[in-house]
């Protein structure tokens, strides 16, 4: 899935544990095959190839994932949008050669096809139709969290009582450590990626982080994240990292980016209205904001 997955299970028998991990890997590979945009025969690319032409019948699993994605788009007022694949990527490279932001009008035109409301679902026939020619969907903002949830479910069905699935930093945990203590998750300091600024003891929960420390550009002394606001086509600024904690890796993964787009105040206000969801935001001026139901150590 273009990301590194790490799977840990607690067991007395190494061979038994490795066999279970192999089953989880196969599940992740299965999900990648249907969701990837790097294979012409994936269901995602079949939907994209028929944009503006005809509905495409998909597996119920894919249909339901898209339906949940659109609900998150509604929840975040479009800050999360799987039709982001429609953006003109030629405007963005986020490397040392990028010296200026594109013209606002050009940026706006680059996102003209991004509109989750133009994804038409037919529940009875399990078909997906992209209304506008040229539209593209992609699961980069939710896919690896979904895969982590599915890998966890497979491992639990195989009798694994405790473990962690780490999908490139999107973690889901269940059970406890071998010493019986809860799993301890470290949140990286955005200015020192390998150094945690705090830890959270969580089990049976997931955490996902979106940060600007991995890929960004500095223009006129201001740091811009690689995260693009789907409404303006311009990169967001003001937030170093957002960490979302929830029972589902899929939901945590999907919410981290839109909270970054919405900004610290609006994003945190939304999180505080949701049940069983918590958030840690670090702004560009290194202030730390936490949702009302979280305790960092």
Query: How does pLDDT run across 184-200, given as a tens digit for each residue?
Result: 877 766 666 566 667 77
State the DSSP code for 194.
E
Count of C-beta atoms within a 10 Å radius of residue 226: 16
pLDDT over 90 at 211, yes or no: no
Residues 150-181 as b/e (b if ≥16 CB within 10 A, e otherwise) read bbbebbeeeebebbbbbbebbbbbbbeeeeee
Dist. CA 158–CA 19, nearest whole Å: 10
Q: Quick one: average pLDDT of 66-81? A: 97
Which residue, among 143, 105, 102, has the nearest Cα to 235 in the 3D structure? 102
Q: What is the largest CA-CA distance in the chain?
A: 60
Residue-averaged pLDDT of the chain: 89
Dist. CA 205–CA 175, nearest whole Å: 10
Q: What is the pLDDT of residue 293?
A: 79
Is-contact 112 95, C-beta < 8 A? no
Q: Choose the weakest-confidence range: 48-57, 67-76, 198-207, 220-229.
A: 220-229
Is-contact 48 136, C-beta < 8 A? yes
Query: How does pLDDT run across 127-161, given as a tens digit for each residue?
Result: 999 999 999 999 989 999 999 999 999 999 999 99
Dist. CA 164–CA 205, nearest whole Å: 10
Helices and strands (H and E) in the chain: how many: 7, 14
Q: What percent of the chain stands above pLDDT 90?
A: 63
Give how far Cα 242 sits from Cα of 85, 246, 266, Å: 22, 13, 13
Dist. CA 128–CA 123, nearest whole Å: 9
Query: How does pLDDT run across 215-250, given as a tens digit for each residue?
Result: 667 777 777 767 888 888 888 888 888 999 999 999
């Amino acid at each position: 899935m273009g990301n590194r997955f790490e799977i840990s299970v607690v067991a007395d028998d190494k061979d038994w544990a490795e066999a279970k991990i192999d089953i989880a890997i196969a599940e992740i590979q299965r999900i990648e095959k249907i969701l990837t945009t790097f294979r012409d025969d994936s269901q995602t690319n079949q939907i994209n190839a028929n944009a503006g032409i005809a509905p495409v019948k998909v597996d119920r699993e894919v249909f339901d994932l898209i339906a949940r994605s659109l609900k998150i788009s509604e929840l975040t007022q479009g800050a999360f949008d799987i039709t982001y694949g429609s953006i003109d990527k030629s405007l963005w490279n986020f490397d040392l050669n990028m010296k200026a932001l594109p013209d606002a009008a050009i940026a706006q035109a680059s996102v003209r096809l991004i509109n989750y409301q133009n994804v038409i679902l037919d529940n009875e026939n399990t078909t997906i139709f992209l209304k506008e020619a040229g539209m593209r969907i992609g699961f980069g903002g939710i896919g690896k969290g979904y895969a982590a949830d599915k890998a966890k479910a497979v491992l639990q069905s195989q009798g694994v009582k405790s473990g962690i699935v780490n999908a490139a930093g999107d973690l889901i945990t269940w059970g406890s450590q071998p010493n019986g203590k809860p799993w301890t998750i470290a949140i990286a300091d955005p200015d020192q990626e390998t150094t945690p600024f705090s830890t959270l003891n969580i089990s049976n929960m997931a955490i996902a982080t979106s940060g600007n420390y991995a890929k960004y550009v500095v223009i006129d002394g201001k740091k811009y994240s690689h995260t693009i606001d789907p409404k303006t086509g311009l990169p967001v600024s003001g937030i170093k990292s957002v960490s979302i904690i929830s029972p589902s890796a899929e939901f945590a993964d999907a919410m981290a980016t839109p909270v970054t787009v919405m900004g610290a105040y609006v994003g945190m206000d939304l999180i505080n209205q949701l049940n069983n969801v918590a958030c840690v935001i670090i702004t560009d001026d290194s202030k730390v904001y936490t949702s009302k139901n979280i305790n960092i150590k």
